[in-house]
């Protein structure tokens, strides 16, 4: 009887002690920093009398450029992990960087790669570039 009770207790603890399955997927949260354009929008907490943040905001806004000079030149990679080539620069989904155009540098982020186009974000606005093999 005591042996049967001991076996029942072991079985009960074995059911309770199931392993916890952990997934390796971690959502990456991106921090967004907005530079103030004027003193009413904010200031540098360490140097409150400085004009530097407002000068940097003007410089950052000038980098948006003109998207009409962006050209989707092609696709590469497998169907599971695709890349796009925009003005001779390669991007995957989530990548961001500067692209040189005739108008100057344009900072963009690749949002989505579709079958025949790509959705990008330039200056906070989304645009779709459609592939055309006419070069």
Tell me the pLDDT tens digit for each residue of 34-83. Answer: 777 777 778 888 888 888 777 765 554 444 557 888 999 999 998 889 99
CA 92/CA 78 separation, integer angstroms: 12
Query: What's the CATH number for 64-130?
Result: 2.30.30
The whole-angstrom separation of Cα 110 and Cα 121 is 7
Cβ atoms of 86 and 72 closer than 8 Å: yes
Give pLDDT tens digits for 85-100.
999 999 999 999 999 8
Outline where DSSP puts E strands in 2-134: 72-77, 82-86, 89-91, 96-101, 104-113, 117-122, 125-130
Amino acid 5: pLDDT: 58
| Token pair for 35 | 């530079």
pTM: predicted TM-score of the whole model, two decimal places: 0.53
* Percent above pLDDT 90 for the chain: 33
Angle (CA) 110 111 115, round 5°:
90
Strands 104-113 and 82-86: unpaired
Q: How confident is the model at residue 20 (pLDDT cuts 50, 70, 90)?
A: low
CA-to-CA distance for 108 and 106, rounded, in angstroms? 6
Measured CA to CA, the distance from residue 93 to residue 113 in angstroms comes to: 7
Which SS3 state, helix, strand or coil, does residue 121 take? strand
Q: Which residues pair with 82 in a beta bridge?
A: 77
Between residues 135 and 53, the one the model is more confident about: 53
- CATH 2.30.30 in the chain, residues? 64-130
If you average pLDDT over residues 19-25, what whole number do you get?
A: 67
7 pLDDT tier (thresholds 50, 70, 90): low
Q: What pLDDT is recorded for position 23? A: 66
């Amino acid at each position: 009887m005591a042996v049967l009770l001991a076996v029942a207790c072991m079985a009960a603890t074995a059911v309770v002690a199931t392993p916890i399955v952990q997934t390796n997927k971690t959502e990456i949260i991106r921090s967004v920093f907005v530079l103030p354009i004027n003193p009413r929008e904010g200031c540098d907490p360490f140097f409150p009398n400085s004009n530097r943040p407002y000068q940097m905001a003007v410089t950052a806004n000038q980098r948006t450029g003109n998207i009409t000079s962006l050209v989707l030149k092609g696709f590469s990679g497998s169907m599971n992990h695709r890349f796009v080539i925009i003005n001779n620069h390669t991007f995957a989904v989530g990548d961001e960087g500067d692209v040189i155009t005739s108008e100057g540098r344009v900072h963009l982020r690749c949002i989505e790669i579709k079958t025949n186009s790509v959705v990008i974000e330039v200056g906070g606005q989304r645009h779709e570039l459609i592939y055309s093999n006419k070069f």
